[in-house]
Structure 1
Amino acid sequence: MFLGIDLGTSGVKVVLIDDAQRVAGTGHAALTVANPHPGWSEQIPQDWIAATRRAIADLGMPLNKVAGIGLSGQMHGAICLDGNNRVLRPAILWNDGRASEEAARLDGDPQFRKLTGNIVFAGFTAPKLVWMQNHEPDLFAQTRLVLLPKDYLRLWLTGEAISDMSDASGTAWFDPAKRDWSGDLLSATGMERSQMPALAEGSEIAGYLRADIAGELGLPPGIPVAGGGGDNAATAIGAGITGPGVGLVSLGTSGVIFAATDRFLPAPETAVHAFCHALPGQWHQMGVMLSAAACLDWWAGIADQPVGNLLAELDDQPTPPGPIAFWPYLSGERTPLNDPAQRAGFTGLSSGTTRPQMTRAVLEGVTLALAENMAALRDAGGGADSLIAMGGGARSDLWLAMLAQATGVPILRPAGSETGAGFGAARLGLMAALGAGADAISQPDIAARFEPDPALVSGWSEGLARLQVQRA
């Protein structure tokens, strides 16, 4: 059996699979996010360990036959440790915008786009350390090691400071073409290679479980821990996306269009992310919006209704966008805007506007933003001919039908209940433990297929054009 641990923003999820990659059990433990100032987003790294313990206990089953572990997690976070591996401050998370000025300055240095193939976004790791230099110099001076979130769990599990290529790609210190840290970029931010973790491919062994932790968790000591992957790369592994063709659309807290590539295809001018995949010799492109299903959760809180009740008030026809528009920028935006200062809002409201109309506008706004992401991938030389839908929002038939019209490609809902990042992490654990290649994993059976309707696609294209004109 193989255990996947996925460190998300809202919780830790663990997935146990058997040798045939069937899900044997899952566990979960919730996490909270602190927002001490507007635009800030932090968590206590030690809370991740506690949540991982709770999630594994939540499995409620013996783990003595587990032969390997894989890790996945939220990307871009900055965990700063001193010379004794003690945490110096709360982790600065992926959706934290405090380092926007620092990111803009780094992005103005041509070597960053040239070497990373990406815009330096405010949420990336490197500008956060520059922010610490400027605002917390004492803590910066004590920093001896910078880890990404899932790799802090690895340090606890194995005692090793190691990251994988997909997660490291999102730091702005990494050269995805060479699959290695860039000494020039580290120097440009006042950092040294000695402050970076070692590197491994996502499907390779990157440490072994310590005996004391194994005893505490009920796992066999010494089992291998895979390099793992950033959450989106691991989710793609869960969906069997190992090369070009079928892509991924994620409707989680954030929204992602993901397409694997067999070569590095940077196009930073499009604000598309070009990263290493969690497999050797593979890369991927991503369009990323910071608030997707989070917008619907936010609106449900404002409306004081469960999300299910709000969706039940809507008809199931993916008609083109109506006169009420929603701007889905609760936390700023990445692709294609690269603007952490963007904010959300409704336009077109009147005294006759109803709650269902506003709910539908939220779905439409997120859908149009994802369509912009898909267009950006095409402009960057990539894209996909169909998209497997993942995340909590993928349960909505209406939302997936909307996405098919807006992107112009079929949207596929997997039949299996588990194809997400935790499942992908478990698969990477299996691959590392068995020395298996990409041919060991497959795409899931499809339960539902949502096709674009030529009679509706043009209306969605017009809706996107209207939104872009209004935004300009």
Structure 2
Amino acid sequence: MIVGVDVGTSVTKASLLKRDGSALVTHSVRSTLRRSPGGRVEQDLGEVLDSVVQVVREVSAEADKSGEQVEALAITGQGDGLWLRDEQGHQVGPAISWLDARSSDVLDRWHDTGVLRQVYALTGSGMFPGSAGPLLAYLAEHDPERLERAAVAGYCVDAIVQRFTGEITVDASDASLPFLDVPTRTYSVEALRACGLEEHRRLLAEPAPPNKLFALEAKSAKELGLPAGLPVSAGPFDLPACAFGAGVEGPGDGTLVIGTTLGCQVLRDTVDIDADGEIAGMWLATPRPDRYLRVMPAMVGTANLDWVLRTVGARIEELETLLGNSRPGAGGVSALSFLASSGERAPFVEPHARGQFTGLSLETTPADLVRAMCEAVAYAARHNLEAAGLTGEVSACGGGARSAAWSQIFADVLGTSLHVPYEEGVGARGAAMTAWDSLGEPVDREKWAAARRVVRPHPNAVEFYERGYRDYLASIDRARPLWQQGAES
């Protein structure tokens, strides 16, 4: 068995996974996001590490009780942001979350000077305020001493791996953002130079080769309740881990991660950068050298639902009832779901994007508001999956996929079936699948993919939502100039 760990933005989970992809036991603990003025969103690395130790110890104890042997520790987690550390793996200032907005002015400047398009043409990464490029540039301008003290500028997964194994490394999926030439898995000096960050190349760890395993150090092993020297698999980060854990296998297949962020991705067999198109999304290296992921990750997924439920005074347990009390079209109410303080990053980058409701009346009910937002998120999913090149099967996972009613809306808006794994810890599954590959003991992928429920679209609803989707796209076209006007005022 393998202990799979998924260090998400809001929750850290660990599961004891069997070779059939099912979890014998899962433990989780909530994470803390620290928000402050200026759109700053940070996490404490020590607290994150403590959360991993807590859930892994609990799972390890269950393994001991059952007599199961743990073959490896497989780690995945949130991507983007900036996790600066010293040689010993201690944080140099708080970890900056991918939700952070402090570098919005940097993005605006890079947009005006053509830097964003230049980097996108080189690496296929559309940068946004919470990505490493503009965050490094912001610190170089406003806090250069912090960069001087740092030995590595990495991400969540490699920060944990460094503390547990002593290795300074990075998975190629994380390293893809935003300076990696993905097909060659080497950093683009030209991209670094375009951002004015060439002198900070020293902070970027070399991507680990496919199937690389590390060894758990004795001190960390004791903390985790695992044997010293246990193989440790580091990545891929949560979006690609969810893709493989959910059953994506062939080029053209897509995955919809309905979590804090709305992760929309499609597996591809070649990297095809449209240098003249919308500067958004990213291309990711995967554990398979001949496969890539075209990713369009909208900033906000289930957080939109959380917000509207709080606004109407409802609980998540009431979601099915609320959606049942409002018909498709939400009583004439429509919404845009761009609620992140840092705007939107896919399928377009707009730091000043904001959400909205239209069509409100005195007859509008709380159920209408909830349905309108759920429909808007589904429209955003279609917008992103189409931009990513979807041609095949769609799998879905994340907290939002637990709702039968919301899953039905997604299927109806997409006009295709959703394949939802019965096992909810899909990110940890994908990490464990990678670990077994690295151990030379690959799992039966067809068997894993078979353990999914299928949500089929309703033909009448598909026709209705086709019109709604066109209206959604028109609403975005009307809103984008207004967002820019608001930013300039």
TM-score, with structure 2 as normaliser? 0.89
Residues 1:263 and 2:245 aligned together: no
Identify the residue that residue 364 of structure 1 maps to in structure 2. 375
Map of 1:73 onto structure 2:
77
* Number of aligned residues: 465
Deviation at 1:53, TM superposition (A): 1.1
Q: Which residue type is aligned with residue 79 of structure 1?
A: W
Whole-angstrom distance in 2 between the partners of 1:339 and 1:438:
42
Structure 1 residue corresponding to 2:307, chosen from 269, 288, 298: 298
Equivalence for 1:420: 426
> Is the 1:255–1:289 contact (alpha carbons within 8 Å) kept by the matching residues of 2?
yes
2:246 to 221, 239, 246: 239
Matches within 5 A, 1:318-467: 319-320=328-329, 322-331=331-340, 332-377=343-388, 382-414=389-421, 416-434=422-440, 436=442, 442-451=448-457, 453=459, 454-467=462-475
Alignment of 1:7-406 (within 5 A): 7-59=7-59, 60-62=61-63, 65-106=69-110, 108-109=114-115, 111-170=118-177, 172-187=178-193, 188-201=196-209, 204-267=211-274, 269-270=277-278, 271-315=280-324, 319-320=328-329, 322-331=331-340, 332-377=343-388, 382-406=389-413
Relative to 1, partners in 2 of residues 1:283 and 1:391: Cα closer, same or farther, differing over 3 Å? same
The residue matched to 2:323 in structure 1 has which SS?
coil
Aligned counterparts of 2:118 and 2:348: Cα–Cα separation in 1: 21
Question: Which of the two has greater helix per residue?
Answer: 2
CA distance in 2 between counterparts of 1:234 and 1:405 reads 26
Contact 1:279 1:438 in 2 (8 A): no
Listed one character per residue, the Cα deviations across residues 379-431 of structure 1 (whole Å, up to 9, x for unaligned) are xxx213231111111122222222223222222222x2235111211222222
Cα separation, 2, equivalents of 1:84 and 1:69: 21
Residue 327 of structure 1 aligns with an amino acid whose one-letter code is: L
Over 3 Å counting, the alpha-carbon distance change for 1:279 and 1:88 in structure 2 is same
The 1-side partners of 2:333 and 2:220 are apart by: 54
SS at match of 1:9: coil
SS at match of 1:330: coil
Matched to 1:138, the amino acid is: E
Contact 2:235-2:431 within 8 A present in 1 as well: yes
The alignment partner of 1:87 has SS state of: coil
- Quote the Cα distance in structure 1 between the aligned partners of 2:397 and 2:20: 22
Question: Helix, strand or coil: the match of 1:162?
Answer: coil
Residue 255 and residue 442 in structure 1: after superposition, are their counterparts in 2 closer, same or farther (change >3 A)? same
- For residues 44 and 320 of structure 1, the distance between their equivalents in structure 2, rounded to whole angstroms, comes to 42
Mean CA deviation greater in 436-445 or 402-411:
436-445
CA distance in 2, matches of 1:253, 1:387: 19
Give the whole-Å Cα distance in 2 for the aligned partners of 1:350 and 1:457.
22
Give distance in 2, aligned partners of 1:227 and 1:216.
Answer: 18
Q: Residues 200 and 206 of structure 1 are in contact (CA less than 8 Å); yes or no, is this contact kept in structure 2? A: no
* Residue segments in structure 1 that go unaligned for 5+ positions in a row: none
Pairwise CA distance, 1:61? 0.9
Residue in 1 that maps onto 2:484? none
1:342 CA displacement? 1.2
Please say if residues 245 and 386 of structure 1, whose CA atoms lie closer than 8 Å, have aligned partners that are also in contact: yes
Give the C-alpha shift of residue 296 in structure 1: 0.7
Contact 2:322 2:371 in 1 (8 A): no
Alpha-carbon offset, residue 466 of structure 1: 4.3
Counting aligned pairs with the same residue, the percent is 26
- CA gap 1:26/1:121 in 2 versus in 1, 3 angstroms: same
Contiguous gaps of at least 5 residues in structure 2: 481-489
Once the two structures are superposed, residues 64-119 of structure 1 have per-residue CA deviations (whole angstroms, 9 ceiling, x without a partner) of 72111221111112111234543111111111121122234445235412221122
- How far apart in 2 are the matches of 1:292 and 1:324? 19
Specify the SS of the correspondent of 2:170: strand
